[in-house]
Structure 1
Amino acid sequence: MTMLTVTMPPSIATTAGSAVELTFTSTSSSILDFRVDVHSLVYNSSHSKVYRANAAGANIVLKISTNQQSFEDLTREADAYQDLLAPAQGSFIPRFLGYYKNDCQGCLILEDCGNPAAYLYFLELSREERKFFTSS
């Protein structure tokens, strides 16, 4: 079973004045055992937290669930990345790099594509782009 260790500096961690280390174990979609160092918080809500991090010189994004409902949602999101969204990875959406979990949290790992894009309405896509998302 592979392990993921996430280290957050005191400036980002929720525990005042000390770094936090989270440990996750692999799911079937995770193939690497590695450590990541978080360097910034991108998004914070009651549903999930999104962090920018580095792992072995690569820039990645971690999406970590914050409650049971978001844990279940994140697990479904990881499944979608592996199945339905696999053909779009790297062009329309970030590449999926793995999914890890512990007893109460999930951690989805994606490539860091830079700043989040503005919300794009489906109808704003070209006909060819829409075909990609609607073909079975």
Structure 2
Amino acid sequence: MIERLLGDWYVMATTFPMWTSGRRTHPRFHYEPLSDDRMLDVVSYRDSKGRPKTIEGVDVQLAPGKFRWRGKGALALFTSTWQVEELHDDWALITFTKSLVTPAGADIIARTPELPWLPTGFTPISHA
């Protein structure tokens, strides 16, 4: 599963308030291998002033398609569990559980910043 997730993904639609509030835009995920069951997880976005920001963590695969994220540095106290519900060559559906500071939610992610369809119940995210 990790091999198929590696590389860049654009958040195209979401239920996650971090991306729907308007304070953080252009969210992307980048995954790099660390070992057979671990990968570096870099979330990049723009803040409300358009400045690039990143959040780094490490994902450990708990079961096929199920991961536990732990932040790096000052975020090392924070964890989140997420799961790949569907994985295709060009898009995926991931869900994540409630954490200490975030609600549960779901993201539609894609390899390119365009998706020809939008799911019902998700907020579309622009990468223009």
- What band does the TM-score fall into relative to the shorter chain? 0.3 to 0.5
Higher strand share: 2
Q: What is the TM-score with the length of structure 2 in the denominator? A: 0.38
Q: Greater RCO between the two (CA within 8 Å, min separation 6)?
A: 2
Query: In terms of Rg, which structure is larger?
Result: 1
Higher helix share: 1
